[in-house]
Amino acid sequence: MSGSGYTEPMTKTLKAWLALLRLPNLFTAPGDPLAGALLAGAALGTSIAWVPAALGAVASLCLYACGLVANDALGADEDARERPDRPIPSGRISRGAALIAACLLNACALLAAALASLPALGVAVALSANVWGYNARARALPGVRPFAMGACRGLSLLLGAAAVARGDFASAPVLIAAVGLTLHVAAITAIASREVGPEGGVRLPRLVLVSSPVVLLATLAALALVAWQGWSPSLGRVPTGYACGVTAMAVVWSALWCGLLFGRPGPTAVRSSIAHLVRGILLVQAAFCATAGLAGEAVSLGLLAAFPVASWVGAWIKGS
């Protein structure tokens, strides 16, 4: 048998797992804890301990991947009706294998958080409980589901802060960013609940569409106010032009893709906007990081560089 006879099934299996993990969305996972770590360091006026920060990012990435896999494993029956091409209902990956992978990812996340700091482990445990609770229960409660998903992102940002600041991580900049990110992602999740709808389109609540860019603008303005007032030792009194520029990019990106959903968009338009809004979280993270001094600006540039890469990967593997 030729070598291609072995490689073709392996390639299909690999692609199925990458689809299960929603590969383009994974690019947005490390930025939450990195932003939290940088904002926590700026609030304390200390340099960043990069090893704990990296461990926090690894823990967050593993928990994010765990949540994605568990979502498909626990929601396989729903996907069989609404998304039969997904890896589990299509038979490319078994539900049992997905659950085992989710548990292994969860264990790796807790180990990485424990190595970072005890407070980081505590936040990771709370985030893990929220991830499994969301997938097991909250997905069936429309009113709770968006905020449960948003809380995953907010806790992820707090995880990074706890990794480097330990018991002093709940500072004003960190809490502002965590709450803003939670509400922003909750709005995206509320939009995503209409992803599967009639071909003729469905009218999305205007309040939900407007809330995403408005929450971003308010959050980033609050962080700028913290900088201007000098409430955090390492935040400059006036945000740099770079920070203002990245902030504008994040707000405009959200407003653009939410604005395209006014009227009665069909499922294809909703899915496209969701994918772009999720990737736009990289811009939000870059804006958070850019307020935290030179180190933050360097990380912000890395997140901006990941943005087109995630878009390119999204053309190959679906993120929604």
Q: How would residue 93 be classed by pLDDT, with cut points 50, 70 and 90? A: confident
Evaluate whether 282 touches 31 at the Cβ level (below 8 Å): yes
Burial class (CB in 10 A: 0-12, 13-18, 19+), 201: middle
Burial class (CB in 10 A: 0-12, 13-18, 19+), 182: buried
Contacts of 279 (CB under 8 A, 6+ apart): 24, 25, 27, 28, 307, 310, 311, 314, 319
Predicted TM-score (pTM) of the model is: 0.89
Share of the chain above pLDDT 90, in %: 45
CATH code of the region 22-314: 1.10.357.140
Go through the chain and tell me how many residues it has: 320
Instruction: Output the CA angle 171-172-178, nearest 5 degrees.
Output: 90
Which residue do the tokens 């999720």 mark? 278
- pLDDT tens digits, 163-210: 998 777 888 889 999 999 999 999 998 888 766 555 545 667 788 888
Contacts of 299 (CB under 8 A, 6+ apart): 34, 35, 38, 289
Q: Quick one: pLDDT at residue 1?
A: 47
- C-alpha 250/C-alpha 176 separation (Å) is 16
Following DSSP, what letter does each residue of the chain receive, concatenated?
--THHHHHHHHHHHHHHHHHTTHHHHTTTTHHHHHHHHHHHHHHT----HHHHHHHHHHHHHHHHHHHHHHHHHTHHHHHHH-TTSTTTTTSS-HHHHHHHHHHHHHHHHHHHHHH-HHHHHHHHHHHHHHHHHHHTGGG-TTTHHHHHHHHHHHHHHHHHHHHHGGG---HHHHHHHHHHHHHHHHHHHHHTTSS--TT--PPPHHHHHHHHHHHHHHHHHHHHHHHHT-STTS-SS--HHHHHHHHHHHHHHHHHHHTTSS---HHHHHHHHHHHHHTHHHHHHHHHHTTHHHHHHHHHHHHHHHHHHHHHHTTS---
Please compute the mean of the pLDDT values over residues 105-126 and round it to a whole number: 96
Q: Quick one: pLDDT at residue 219?
A: 92
Q: Quick one: pLDDT at residue 220?
A: 87
Q: Is the pLDDT of residue 320 over 70?
A: no
**Nearest-CA neighbor of 135 among 183, 71, 186, 224?**
71
Evaluate whether 150 touches 138 at the Cβ level (below 8 Å): no
Tell me the angle at which helices 145-165 and 118-136 cross, rounded to the nearest 10 degrees. Answer: 170
Tokens coding 125: 């445990």
Q: What is the mean pLDDT of the chain?
A: 85
Residue type, 224: A
- pLDDT tens digits, 202-257: 667 788 888 889 999 999 888 877 766 665 555 555 567 888 899 899 999 999 99
